[in-house]
Structure formats: structure tokens, C-alpha cells
Structure 1
């Protein structure tokens, strides 16, 4: 330790002698360059650390968001079909990528309850969103179509979503059921309601068919 201290003192002495030998203007320029460089490095570091890596699961109550959350994290349904009234929030490596742990970037997934009273919580997480997965109940779509379209429109017109151009994936859940509507039908009906083009995919949370959501996540949260 003493040797390191002595070496440091030598370096400091050399630096002081060099500074005394330089014209004041040159010293000021050198200090300014160092200061600007440090500020740039700090700014770049902050930008990198603040890059969005949050995927928001949204949709009406009972659409299957919580099951999707558990499938992405654990590869199982856990609580089955029980509607969650609490927000699920966790950072994890996708269950389908566990064998690549340490080589892929963990994803922060937030499951926002669809109950009308809890929808304002969505505004709290949207500023950090890298993408939004909007879950639709394909089996019970006709009875919830208008409400689902209204909520989706509300999300698409959020100032944060519009300004940051946050990508939105519509996940048609429960398509494993015999009475479920196809993604083509759901897309067509939503387009009629929204007068806009939307990206729609299908799957089934209960059976673990969530690969389309995983692909969407990896498109916007790079490994």
C-alpha cells in the first residue's frame, strides 16, 4: 500500500510541474476538454441505463393477462383462471430462454389489472414501456368487443404511446377453445371499431402457447 501511495505522489508531482510549465490558456483548454468528455460519458451512460425494457400486459379483466405473465416467467399458469386484482411486476429471463440465462437480457414485465377502477395504474408504467401486449379473450370476444376496442383505443391515444411510438401487439388468448373466434375475425372487428390497422396474433395462455408474445418481446427488448 505504501508503495502505491509513493507512486501516486510521484505522479501528482509530475502533473503539477507539467501544469506550471504550460501557458494558462492551454491549461484552461485542457480542463475544458476533460470536463466536456466526462459530461458526455455520463450522459451516454444515463441514456443507456434508462433505455426502456418494460413490457406492459394490458386488457380487460378476465382476458388472461395474469396467466400470460406466469407463462412468460415460469412456464405455468399458477393460479389458473382466477382474475387478479393486483398488479404483477417482475424482472426475469423468459422461461423459454432459461437455458441462455446470462446471455440474454432480462425483461421487466408488468401485468396491469383490467378492472375499471385500476386502469389508471396503466399511466404509471407506460413511460417505461418498450412494448404493450393487449390481451383479448377470443372465446368471449363478441360480448366484450366494444369494451375491448374502447380500452384499446384509449391506450393507442395515450400521449406517451403516441409520442414514443410504443409498439402494441394484440394477443388473442384462449384460441385453444372450440368456441373461440379466429384472430382474423377479431382483427377485422377491431379495425371496424377503431378505423385503423392493428397487429394481431393468437395463442393460449393456459396451454403455454405464448411464443408470439415472446417473439414480440425480443423484437423490442433486445437480448
Structure 2
């Protein structure tokens, strides 16, 4: 046995490693083993660096039929294709230089069109790129808003109370789409060849204000229902006098005034606040804008401005 070991060692080439005034013989297999160990140690570090440099993401969300996929491909390719309901998201990395020359328009982001079906809607919060979302576009079908306001409010409420989005104060744009169809729906002539009349002065502002008020009422209704359930569960728990004015439910809003504008424009959707205080999108801690648009006619300038803003 000893003869066999000596024979193997005699066949291994050695190199002299000079250290100071001395030289130490090290075999080639030992050198390879050391290099392998070094690679194993450094590879995870490379992986962490790649993960940290993930591409910032723009999320396009909303209910089915709101025009999310049409907006995604229009922004990406400049043309609006025929779309259909899908249970899988669409994603691509591109910039907005084809639409505007504004600052930041050539900055590339990953755009993801998330499915809006009820059975897949909540997968948005578990998506691998959810933590990388920088901005959100919440698309709404204007022609079905009144009928779907409860579903729209419920989904939007889950966004406002997402710990990840609240912590990052993710900016949100609520875009009421399909304004051309809304005009035709409200006109006397329902033929395909009919042209929508331009809005009367102030009509657009009144329309979008009414939609926002309806959405806020729906969110406040959800908050009230959840707070009632929480108070019922807390009846057996003694509450100090100074806490009786506070809600047990933690998703109430607390508004703050801006010293610059004097308007209430800051709100924490994830804290306890006085019972009965109404939630307002204008007072949100994160930036929440809203606009009307028509994706099929490429009329979405406010969306472009929102995406290019810092």
C-alpha cells in the first residue's frame, strides 16, 4: 500500500512557491483545489451584485378590459394591436424616446402588464419583480367604471395598504381610459360612424372629479367595514381613555398640511388615526395623480409626463 502511495506522489508535478528566503513545494492538484474553493466563495457575491442591479420596473395594473395590454404594446412598439385576456403578464425593457424628447425619456425601464382577471389579480403582489416597482399605472375603463367601482376600489385599496408600496411611497397614476367610447355611449347617435363631440368647458374636470370622489367613497367604505370587524374583535380588550379616540384598525389615514401649498397632501395609509377621518387621494403620502386618456387613439400625454417625471 505504501509503495502505491509513493508511486502516485512521485507522478505529481510540483512547483516551487518562493516565500521570503524559502521555497515550498506545492502540487498541482492542491493548487487546483485552492482555486476551486476560491471560485465557490466568490460566485455567490457575483450573484448578489447582479440581483442588486435589477432593472427598475413600471407596473401597469387594473381590471380585465381596462386597456393594459393595449397601452403596453403601444408604448413599446408605437402601434395598438388587437388584444385578448391573458393569465400571464407581458414584460419588456424599453424607453419612451419615440413619444417625447423630455428629460428621462431615454431611460430604460422594465414595463410589466399584469393580468387583471379576478383569479390572477393578487399575483401582482407576489411577482418576482414586485420589489423593483418604481411607478404604477392603474388603468380604469371609463365606460364600466360605475358598475365596477366596488372591484376597482377593492383592488386599489390593496395597493394603498401594501407594506412594500407604502414603505417606498410608490407614485401611482390612475388613468381613466376609453374616453372616446364614453362620449359615444353618452351621445344620441350610437352608430359606429358617429364622432364624439368635444367636452364643454369644465366637463372633463367635473367628470374626473366625480370618478375620484366615487373611488374615495368606496375606499372609505372598505376601511369602515374592516374597522368595524376589528372593533368587534377588540371589545373584550381594555382600552385606555387616551386610546379610545383611535381606531384599532391600522389602515386608517392621517393627513398632514404642506407648509408650501397649504393643502393637505401627505397621508400615511398604514397607520392608526382618528376614527371618522375621511381618506382622500389628494392627501396620500405617496404621489397619486389621475387623468383621462384614450390608448387606442394614442392620447395619453399625462401618462408620458408621469413616467418621465422623477
TM-score, with structure 1 as normaliser: 0.69
Shift of 1:131: 0.4
Cα deviation for residue 62 of structure 1 reads 0.9
Alpha-carbon distance between aligned partners in 1 of 2:296 and 2:85, rounded to the nearest angstrom: 13
Aligned to 1:159, which of 143, 146, 163?
Answer: 163
| Greater Cα offset, 49-58 or 198-207 | 49-58
Distance in 2 (CA, whole Å) between partners of 1:62 and 1:107 is 24
Asked if residue 127 in structure 1 is aligned to residue 131 in structure 2, the reply is: yes
Q: CA deviation at 1:129?
A: 0.5
Partner Cα separation in structure 1 for residue 180 and residue 280 of structure 2: 27
C-alpha contact 1:66 1:84 (8 A) present in aligned 2: no
SS where residue 131 of structure 1 aligns? Answer: strand
Per the TM alignment, residue 95 of structure 1 is displaced from its structure 2 partner at its CA by 5.9
Shift of 1:121: 2.6
* Count of residues paired in the alignment: 174
**Matching residue of 1:77:** 80
Is the 1:204–1:210 contact (alpha carbons within 8 Å) kept by the matching residues of 2?
yes
Alignment of 1:77-96 (within 5 A): 77-80=80-83, 82-94=84-96, 96=98
* CA–CA separation in structure 2 for the residues paired with 1:199 and 1:186: 13
Deviations 1:23-80 (A, max 9, x none): xxxxxxxxxxxxxxxxxxx9xxx69x63762110001111111111111111221124
- Which residue of 2 is the match for residue 201 of structure 1? 291
Q: Mean alpha-carbon deviation: is it higher for 178-187 or for 52-61?
A: 178-187
RMSD of aligned alpha carbons = 2.8
The 5 A counterparts of 1:138-177 are 138-177=142-181
Instruction: Determine which of 56, 61, 64 is the counterpart of 1:58.
Output: 61
Structure with the larger helix share: 1
Gaps of 5+ in 2: 1-44, 187-203, 220-278, 282-287
Match of 1:111 among 88, 113, 117: 113
Is the radius of gyration larger for structure 1 or structure 2? Answer: 2
Deviation of residue 209 (structure 1)?
Answer: 1.1
Are 2:215 and 1:190 aligned?
Answer: yes
The whole-number CA distance in structure 1 between the counterparts of 2:98 and 2:213 is 31
- Pair 88,95 (structure 1): closer, same or farther in 2 beyond 3 Å: farther
Paired residues of 1:72 and 1:210 also in contact (CA < 8 A): no
| DSSP-derived class of the 2:174 partner | strand
3-state secondary structure, aligned to 2:115 = coil
Greater relative contact order structure (CA < 8 Å, 6+ sep): 1
Shift of 1:157: 0.8
2:180 and 2:98 map into 1 onto residues whose CA distance is 20
Shift of 1:140: 1.0
